[in-house]
Structure 1
Amino acid sequence: MTRTAGEVLEAMTARLAPEPDANPLLPLVASGAAGLGTLAALAGEQRLVIAADLLSFRHLAGRAAAGEPTSAPFFEMLAEGEAVAAGRLGAFAEACGVDEQRAAAYAPLPGCQAYPSYVARLALGASPADVVLALSANFASWGGYCAVIAKSLRDHYAFTDEACGFFDFFAEPAPELEERARAAVQAGLDAGRIDEETAHGHGRLLQSYESMFWTTLARP
């Protein structure tokens, strides 16, 4: 029996669900044990991740428009979201004591920048429909992390709603993005362009690099 896009997305998300200890920074933030220096580093890394992912998603949208047009709206919305997130990140950085000069001088950690580097690699050569499937599975855990961080910043660090806005944005449900993902995956299935094992390989590396991101920041 042929599976629907929704079933394929659900199955891939289940296969790629992270281990409970994949994000060692999360319990530190959730308990208030993470220092402001660590949170400032998170802001610095996210600033660079957003800039890189914005370019990658725009490139994927362009590639998709040329050959897999049903996938293009998904990447266009991701690019729009990164632009919104960039506008919200500043308040979080300021709450962590990071001014413009400090932000500009920040030296990125290799373990944190592996994720956007791999997204850029996918943007250059992977099938857009496979990337939609892999990213959608990865975003499920990212949104949950952001929800916990947003609550914890309010509970333990007395951050304002504005300072938590970056994490609130990603924690919010995104039904339109999910609909665009289903349309892209369905079109890929109908055209025989989806290779689930290849997409799983992309997603496995994305999840591993994301875990590396959090593990790097959690180190003393």
Structure 2
Amino acid sequence: MTDHGAAELVARTRREIAASTTANRFVSMLETGEMPQDRLVWLAGEEYRIVSSDRRSFALLAARFPDSPSGGLFLGLAQGEGQALTLLGDFAAALGQSEKNLMAYEPKPLAQAYPAYLAQRAAFGTAGEVALAMLANLEEWGAYCARTAQALRTRYGFSDRAVGFFEFFAESPPGFEEQALDVIASGLASGDDPVEAARAARLLHAYETAFWDVLADGLP
């Protein structure tokens, strides 16, 4: 499949994901100021484990697929997760939480389905399917992060530094889409199954949705 074919696969997968997307109750409640402060601690605690896991997953992918274009893409993503982990510390500090608190936080099982699935794909999947999953879901994730940052500033009085973690993810890294498309096209040219790749992207989206749902679970 050519680069054009890879772009078509991305567009089709994005449409499939969009058709299954539901309202994000957690972010909506943040925007109205109805989200209790303790749920923000949940957010920090869950993200601490997610980002730590994702950094290792991308490092594993870079080791499994070191050649261009995959190696550069995954190494860059691993480095980005490292930056995000530092920024997360500023958000946690604004909540009065230390790294020790984040380590002691008891994660909610379904909130961790996303990094667990990414780790599974990092160990057993193809470079192309992971690139497709990340690219197809990135715009929605970025939009949620942008809304979260804005709500935390306007509704909860957080500083720009405290919301830096969410601002970091609000926009995709420079050149990411082009790199990811190259990886997808390379994988398809090598025999990757586009049906399996799209399935991985849809599953990753479902697990990301579960993460947000858990954060709002049980609230009126």
TM-score of the pair, normalised by structure 1: 0.92
> In the aligned structure 1, how far is the partner of 2:211 from the partner of 2:68?
32
> In the aligned structure 1, how far is the partner of 2:142 from the partner of 2:210?
17
Equivalent residue of 2:65, what SS? helix
Q: Higher mean Cα deviation, 7-16 or 44-53?
A: 7-16
Distance 1:20 1:200, change over 3 A: closer
Aligned pair count?
A: 217
Alignment of 1:131-146 (within 5 A): 131-146=130-145
> In the aligned structure 2, how far is the partner of 1:4 from the partner of 1:121?
26
How large is the Cα RMSD of the aligned pairs?
1.8
1:161: which partner in 2?
Answer: 160
Displacement of 1:204:
1.3
Q: Higher mean Cα deviation, 131-140 or 54-63?
A: 131-140
1:37: which partner in 2?
Answer: 38
1:83-117: CA deviations, max 9, x gaps? 01001001111112213342232111101111101
> In the aligned structure 2, how far is the partner of 1:141 from the partner of 1:32?
21
Q: Higher mean Cα deviation, 100-109 or 23-32?
A: 100-109
2:199: which partner in 1?
Answer: 201
1:130 aligns with 2:129: yes
Structure 2 gaps, min length 5: none
2:27: which partner in 1?
Answer: 26
- Aligned-partner residue type, residue 56 of structure 1: S
Identity %: 40
> In the aligned structure 2, how far is the partner of 1:49 from the partner of 1:4?
32
Structure 1 gaps, min length 5: none
1:89-146: CA deviations, max 9, x gaps? 0111111221334223211110111110111100111111111111211222111100
TM-score of the pair, normalised by structure 2: 0.92
Assess if the C-alpha contact under 8 Å between 1:37 and 1:96 holds in 2.
no
Assess if the C-alpha contact under 8 Å between 1:40 and 1:97 holds in 2.
no
Displacement of 1:22:
4.8
> In the aligned structure 2, how far is the partner of 1:206 from the partner of 1:100?
27
Equivalent residue of 1:148, what SS? helix
1:61-84: CA deviations, max 9, x gaps? 11112xx64222111111011001
Displacement of 1:186:
2.2
1:56 aligns with 2:57: yes
Displacement of 1:19:
4.2
Assess if the C-alpha contact under 8 Å between 1:85 and 1:166 holds in 2.
yes
